[in-house]
Amino acid sequence: MNVLVVDDQYDVVQGVIAGVNWQELHVDHVYPTYGPDEARAILHTNQIHIMLCDIEMPLENGLELFKWVKAQYPATECIFLSSYSEFEYAQEAIQLGCFDYILQPARYEDIQASIERAIHKIHANTQRQQIYEYGAYWRQNEEFLLENCVRSFMLDPGKQPQQLLRDLSNVNFSVSPHAQFCSILIQRTNSNKEPFKYELRHVLTKLIEPYHLNSLFVQLDRVNYLALLYVEGLFDVPITELFTQFIDMIQNELGYSVACYISDIGHPDKLKLHYKALCHMRQQNVALYSKVFTMQHLKEIKDSSFSFPDMQNWSMLICHGSSKTVRDQINSYLLQQKQLGIMSAEFLARFHQDFIQIFLTAANQMKLEVNDIFFEQYPYADYIQAYTSLDKMIELVNFTLDYVQEHAIGTHSTQSPIERAIEYINQNIEKNFSRAEVAEAIYLNPEYLSRLFKKEKGVSLNDFIVTRKMEISKSLLTSTHIPVHIIASKVGYSNFSYFSQVFKKHCGLTPIEYRQQA
């Protein structure tokens, strides 16, 4: 608290400074000045809360100075000390808004009492201003404060439900400790879209309005939102049907895809437990299905069993240079599982484990340095966490198999002619090629290659090509649902009838019979 004393008489100024107990008033600084110009200089450089001012001064009187002070520093209180008792002076001082008008000579105790009252007024004004500013802040940030209450409760393991209810009450949002809650975690599954918090809340409000539900809506991050629906009595609302409709409305009206994870009904003391379950459900939705998930889904996932294709065959194909074929088969298989609606984090985690195992086996047989792949070429954290998302898993599969395909080419210089011939066959299994084309690709005479192949492998080159194509066909017939005529084209047969004849001659069954038997 700072005070400015203005009077053209030196004795008056010094008398006030000496006669008032400033320490008792908790005044920090008292500035003596002897004219309006000197007073303005002090006001420009210091915050002055109270000005004690004489009226009659040479050149400019105190009333003129106070007019200037009110214009420049309206919060400053003014107490006039004057030896003039004329009514006109007092009337003008009051009209200007001075705090007090004291006739001199006056006792220092009276001056001190007037200053003390001015200090009380300043403190009261400050408190009112703070209350006003807090109210304005609350009105402007009500939504943020409510969200922060819920977010901090859910994410802070030390916070108890009673504290959440108190925090909500402090921001004028009263919830009974006996209220029944249902928590819904809403996840935007097309993450390329911009945030749509207000549109989402508008659709939710419109949907629950007929059921007279109270709600708290919180944005957790760019793609996740939490809706807390509650009633003071019995929670009798068809929540699953309601949010199935909600997903359709979001898709049709806004063009967004969302997944909704719904908890059981419970009192506030169950909120954290339910939120944890919702997060677990969200982790299971690795394929980003746009549908409603309930607690029952967790039980179904826990009780489910998984079976995978023959990955040893994939490992063999990788080793023989057919990484592209394996990549296509895996992509087709994973997308098929997604369409069947059985994709979960547990499913993908087991697939991830088995795939990495067969990939590492193949990479070691091909003498590829695995550390170069997962530390220098591909982020190790993404490799470890690939099972958390179908997109990440497909990205990992594509990268690793492309890497093997690219680096397998560099091994030709150390391979024998027979090894190079087999590699060419594996890499071009989808083509209809001849013995001569294989020989030309590895820069050998066709007759010489045939004799060399027969001598080393015990079968003719043509028979080996047919056998290899049939092995791939059998694998595709048993491990995928690809139509038979597509399988024929994938192993280089454009004529389906001819393919069936060759397959039956080789396996004793037609392709369709072989698939049915398998």
Q: Which domains does the chain have, with CATH numbers?
A: 2-125 (3.40.50.2300), 175-303 (3.30.70), 311-517 (1.10.10.60)
pLDDT over 80 at 241, yes or no: yes
Mean pLDDT of 331-358: 87
Q: State the Cα–Cα distance between residues 371 and 381, nearest whole angstrom.
A: 13
Query: Among 5, 43, 9, which Cα is nearest to 27's?
Result: 5
Query: Among 319, 311, 315, which Cα is nearest to 367's?
Result: 319
Q: Please tell me whether the peptide bond between 157 and the residue prior to it is cis, using omega within 30 degrees of 0.
A: no
- Percentage of the chain lying above the pLDDT 70 cut: 90
Tokens coding 177: 């400790």
Q: State the Cα–Cα distance between residues 38 and 59, nearest whole angstrom.
A: 13
Question: CA angle, 80 as apex, 75 and 81 as ends, to 5°?
Answer: 145
Tokens coding 29: 């600084």
Name the pLDDT band for 410 (thresholds 50, 70, 90): low
Predicted confidence at residue 321, as pLDDT, reads 72
Of 285-294, 299-308, 325-334, 336-345, the least confident: 299-308
Predicted confidence at residue 34, as pLDDT, reads 93
> How far from the centroid of its chain's Cα atoms is residue 177's Cα?
30
Predicted confidence at residue 474, as pLDDT, reads 92
Mean pLDDT of 311-320: 76
Residues 5-30 have pLDDT tens digits of 999 999 999 999 999 999 999 999 99
Name the pLDDT band for 193 (thresholds 50, 70, 90): low
Mean pLDDT of 185-214: 83
Mean pLDDT of 274-286: 91
Sheet holding 214-219, edge to edge: 214-219, 224-231, 180-188, 258-266, 292-293
Residues 128-157 have pLDDT tens digits of 888 676 656 565 666 777 788 888 888 888
Predicted confidence at residue 244, as pLDDT, reads 93
CA pseudo-torsion sign 322, 324, 330, 333? negative
Give 118-144 as a DSSP string.
Answer: HHHHHHHHHHHHHHHHHHHHHHHHHHH
424 against 504, higher pLDDT: 504
Residues 245-276 have pLDDT tens digits of 999 999 888 888 999 999 999 999 999 999 99
pTM: 0.56
pLDDT over 80 at 277, yes or no: yes
* Tally of CA atoms within 13 A in the half-sphere of 337 that contains its CB: 22
Predicted confidence at residue 166, as pLDDT, reads 85
pLDDT over 70 at 376, yes or no: no
pLDDT over 50 at 413, yes or no: no
Q: State the Cα–Cα distance between residues 254 and 189, nearest whole angstrom.
A: 13
